[in-house]
Amino acid sequence: MTKYFRENFHFYIFFFILFSCYFFFEPRITPDTKSYIITGKNVINNLFGGNFSNLLFSLLEIDILLKIISILNISIFFQLIGENAKYFLVILNLFLFFYIFNINCIISRRINPIKDKKILFLIVIFFSFFYFPVFLLSFNILTEVYFQCICMIYLRHLYLGNNNLKKLFLLSLISLFINPMGITLIGFTLILFLSKYLRLNINFLILFTIMLIIFVIPFMLDYLFKGSYFTNIDGGRIKFLEKGNIIYFFLYYDQGALKWCESYCDFTTIYSSLKSNSNYLDYLFSGLLRIYYFIYPIRPYFSLNHNLLISICMIFIYFGFFSSFLFCKFKSFIPFYFILFFIFFFVITPLSPSFRYQSVLYLMLIPNTAIAYNLIITRIYEKFNN
């Protein structure tokens, strides 16, 4: 028993700190949660009441279909338990986040050549707490951690070389009905499928796909908004895509100029302007700006100290991630292609890339970052202690 505890001490430390925070941060029922409760109740009533036409009509709404697992999960909990369901959902999130931490440890063990893992696990814990503020916000979102967990399970399969397309496709499908960002996983699984069965070079195929995402999607948006019958449609799929593709809260590209919002943008006004006046370059630069702020998430309405802290953390993480390529010999670069694809896919994602989605990227970088600093610390220790 003592040996088992000694070998797994890092899990107990992490879980103790994580669970302790549960007593200091009160989960709230946000407007999104209330919307999920009502929507889920309607879907369930239509299902068991035999109103299949209304059920089908509801599921055809992209906002519902691509979040149906999260919606039903929240709604069922609240209908069975009441308002106290938020505590049960938060506890579930705690266990999921702990599982994500475990996945990072598994990946790190896989790619780390050092036998002594104690320093490595402590470093993984340290970097996991860079993500911690996002996790605490997920207390309010309640099911946001689900998507992060699926992404990390997907990444673990890639790192372990277990490219079973059936499992990867199943994970992708599940993620799609948790969050629209699951389109990213669907797209990458399709690339693996084409590479395997058409015998295409995976490097070429991924780079070619990224180039298509960057340069062809803006052309498609320009056509959809101006040259087709979608022009006069106010709701549905197209409007759902527009919000993420064109507008990024405080900075957007319109008619050849960068424009700032003091706080959050007035979506209705900007939407009308973009729809009537924007061109291909507007959509292209808007997408590139979104990628930039996805990688470097500063905000003009944050304080200088806040942005400075973000900058230091990002430099710290990116330095460790890229340094890992100098220290380790990776057998497969498919996990890194997935991370690259995840970043560039934000040009066409249905939702704006908020920090909740950026957090998935940070979680993906933790294993490489951890092993790099582990090797640096170990070599410094060996140098000074012979």
Whether residue 332 lies inside any domain: the answer is yes
Q: Which of 314, 324, 313 is nearest to 110 (CA)?
A: 324
Residue for token digits 């939407």?
271
Span 127-131, average pLDDT = 76
Q: What is the pLDDT of residue 319?
A: 93
pLDDT band of 237, cuts 50, 70, 90: very low
Q: Which carries the bigger pLDDT value, residue 56 or residue 205?
A: 205
**How confident is the model over 170-197, as pLDDT tens digits?**
999 999 888 888 888 999 999 999 988 8
Q: Which carries the bigger pLDDT value, residue 312 or residue 276?
A: 312
CA atoms within 13 A on the CB side of 230: 18
Of 39-43, 251-255, 280-284, the one with minimum mean pLDDT is 251-255
Q: Which carries the bigger pLDDT value, residue 297 or residue 191?
A: 191
The alpha-helical segments, DSSP class H, found in the chain are 2-7, 9-21, 31-48, 52-59, 62-65, 68-81, 85-111, 118-128, 132-141, 144-159, 165-176, 183-197, 202-226, 237-246, 267-277, 280-295, 304-327, 334-344, 355-384
Q: What is the DSSP letter of 71?
A: H
CB 367 within 8 A of CB 104: yes
Q: Which of 296, 327, 314, 319 is nearest to 108 (CA)?
A: 327
The domain tally of the chain equals: 1
Q: What is the DSSP letter of 254?
A: E
Whether residue 142 lies inside any domain: the answer is yes
Whether residue 57 lies inside any domain: the answer is no
Whether residue 39 lies inside any domain: the answer is no
Q: Is 263 helix (H, G, I), strand (E, B) or coil?
A: coil
Of 12-26, 36-50, 231-245, 254-268, the one with minimum mean pLDDT is 231-245
Whether residue 68 lies inside any domain: the answer is no
Query: Whole domain around residue 297: which residue ranges?
Result: 2-29+83-384
Q: What is the pLDDT of residue 240?
A: 46
CA distance 366 to 343: 16
Q: What is the pLDDT of residue 151?
A: 93
**How confident is the model over 67-90, as pLDDT tens digits?**
788 888 888 888 888 878 877 887
Q: Would you give the distance in Å from CA 325 to the centre of its chain? A: 23
Q: What is the pLDDT of residue 157?
A: 93
Whether residue 17 lies inside any domain: the answer is yes
Span 302-327, average pLDDT = 85
How far apart, in Å, do the first and last CA atoms of the chain sit?
34
Q: What is the pLDDT of residue 312?
A: 85
pLDDT greater than 60 at residue 40: yes
Q: What is the pLDDT of residue 152?
A: 94
Whether residue 148 lies inside any domain: the answer is yes
Q: Would you give the distance in Å from CA 117 to the centre of its chain? A: 28
DSSP 193-248: HHHHHTT--HHHHHHHHHHHHHHHHHHHHHHHHHSSGGGG--SSHHHHHHHHHH-B
CB 69 within 8 A of CB 146: yes
| The token pair that represents 42 in the structure block | 């309607």
pLDDT greater than 90 at residue 117: no
Residue 204 class from Cβ within 10 Å (0-12 exposed, 13-18 middle, 19+ buried)? exposed
Whether residue 61 lies inside any domain: the answer is no
Q: Which carries the bigger pLDDT value, residue 166 or residue 241?
A: 166
